[in-house]
A and B are shown apart, each in its own frame.
Chain A
C-alpha cells in the first residue's frame, strides 16, 4: 500500500530543532529521517544552513513550511517559492509540505495557521493555488490539516470532505496530523475516526504526531509533552488504513533532550513496522573509508 505519488516510507523521524543541533552532529543518532521547518533555513547562510547541509548529507530530509498561505487571497509569493525550490534541491528534500490555512493577507504575515471556510468557492481557489505551487516546485505539494479553534458559519462541508476533494482536485498529497485531527474534533465536536475514514488513503504521504494541552474550554495544539493515548489510538487506526507512511514526532515547547523526543517518536513502531533499510555489504574498513 504505497501512496499514489510513489514517495518513500521514510520510517520514524524527528523534527529538526535548534536545541538538538549539537547532539545530532556529534552523536549522529540512529534516526530514520528529519523534518526541517522551511522558513528557518531560507534567509540564513550561517550556522542553521550549515547544520541542515550536514544533516541532509547524513539523513533523508523533508521540508515543512509555515508561510505558504495556500488558503490566502494575496497572490502567491513566487520569490518565496523559488527559494523553497532551491532549498529543496540543495538538501534533496524527499517532499515539501505546508498547511491548509492562510497566514496573512494584504501583505502581512501573522505567522499563525489561520482557518478558512470550507466552501465551494474556497475549494476552487485553493485547488488552483496548489496546482500552481506544484508546477513551480516541480513536485506534488503535500498539505497538512492544521488544528483549529473556530469554525465559519459559511462552511458548506466538513474539513475532512474539503480535504478529500482538494487532494483529488489539486492532485496533491496529505500530511495527516493525527493530533490536529483530535484537537479539532474536541474543539468542534466531530468524530475523529469518521474524519480519518473520509480521507483517500493513497494520498497520505506523511504523519505528524505531537502532544497537546487541555485548556479546559478547548484543546490547544502546543506540541508539548507526550502524545495522549487517545491520539495514539487514532494513529493506529489511520496507519491501518494507509499502510506504513513516514511518521514524524514534533516537540516544540519545553523540548527535552533529543533521546526523550526520539523515544516518544519510536512509540510509533508499536503500530507500524520498522523501516526496512538496505544494509551495507561488509567491507574491510580501509576500503569502506577510502
Chain B
C-alpha cells in the first residue's frame, strides 16, 4: 500500500497548487511525494494531450469548484469584488482554509475572520461586515427545523402587568451589529448597484420562518431591546437594560415602533 498513498498525495498537491501545472509539479509540496522526472512518467499521454496537460484539466477545475461553492454562500461579497478579485480571494482563502469536510456547507465558515486578518481585500472592515451578514444568513438557513421549533405565536394584548411580561423570541434569531450598513449594501449588490462603503453603524436581525430566511434592519434602540428580550428578561427589565446601554430611556414612540416591528416580523411572540 505504499504506492497509492504517494500517488494520491502527489496528485492532490498538484491540483490544489495555485500556479501552472508545470510550477505545481516542481513545487516542494509535490516533489516531496514524487520527483519531477517520476511525475512525468507516472501518467500516460493521450492521442491529443501530454501527461501534464491531462493533469491540468483537474487542476483547472479545482479553483472553479471552490469559486462556485463560496460564491453560493457569499453572493454579495462575490458581486462586490467582481469575478477576478473574487477568484483571487477564493484561491487565497482555500490555500489557508481548504475544505476538510464531505460537504461545501462548512467551507466558508472562516471567511469573515480571514478577511479581517489578511487585510488584502479592501475595504477590509466593510467586506468583513458584509461576509459576517452573509454567513449568518447561511447558518440560519441551515438550522435544523426540529431544533429550531415553530416561530412564536403573536403576543396577546394584555392591559395590565406589562412590566413582568416575557416574550418568546424567534428560535432562529441572530442579532448582528455592524460598523457599516451592510444590509442595504447587500440589497444594492443584488440589484446590480454599487453600495456605499463609508462607515455607518447598522443593526440587523436574521431569522427563519417556514424555511425562508428573513433579514430585518433595526434601529439601535430596537436592537438593544430585542437583545434584552432574547436573554429572557421580562419587558420592564428589558427596557431598563436597553435604556442603560442606550445611555437614555427609550421614548414611548420608540418602544411602540419597536413592538410593531417585532410583532409584524414575527421576531417575538407569546412567551
Interface residues of A (CB under 8 A from B): 39-40, 42-47, 49-50, 67-68, 72-73, 77, 80, 102, 104-112, 114, 116-117, 119, 121-122, 125, 149-154, 187-189, 216-218, 220
**Could you say which interface size class chain B belongs to?**
35 or more
Contact present for B65 and A112 (CB under 8 Å): yes
Contact present for A116 and B4 (CB under 8 Å): yes
Known: A149-B57, A218-B57. 7 other contacts (CB 8 A): A46-B211, A47-B141, A109-B100, A114-B11, A114-B15, A117-B3, A152-B7
Contact present for A39 and B103 (CB under 8 Å): yes
The A-contacting residues of B in range 95-127, CB under 8 angstroms, are 98-106
Contact present for A112 and B58 (CB under 8 Å): yes
Q: A67-B103, A73-B8, A151-B44 are in contact. Are A108 and B16 (CB under 8 A)?
A: yes
Contact present for B102 and A109 (CB under 8 Å): yes
Q: Which residues of B contact A218 (CB under 8 A)?
A: 46, 48-49, 54, 57
Smallest CB separation, B3 vs chain A (Å) = 6
Interface string of B32-55 (1 = CB under 8 A from A): 000000000111101111010111
When chains A and B are docked, how far (Å) is the Cα of A39 from the Cα of B103?
6
Q: A153-B42, A218-B48 are in contact. Are A112 and B145 (CB under 8 A)?
A: no
Interface string of B231-247 (1 = CB under 8 A from A): 00000000000000000
Q: Which residue of B lies closest to A216 (CB)?
A: B48
Contact present for B49 and A73 (CB under 8 Å): no
Contact present for A47 and B211 (CB under 8 Å): yes
Q: Which residue of B lies closest to A111 (CB)?
A: B65
Subset of 18 A-B contacts with CB under 8 Å: A46-B145, A49-B144, A49-B145, A104-B99, A105-B9, A106-B9, A107-B100, A109-B100, A110-B16, A114-B12, A116-B4, A122-B4, A149-B58, A150-B44, A152-B42, A152-B43, A152-B44, A153-B42
Closest 7 CB pairs of A and B: A45-B144, A67-B102, A150-B54, A47-B211, A73-B5, A149-B57, A217-B48
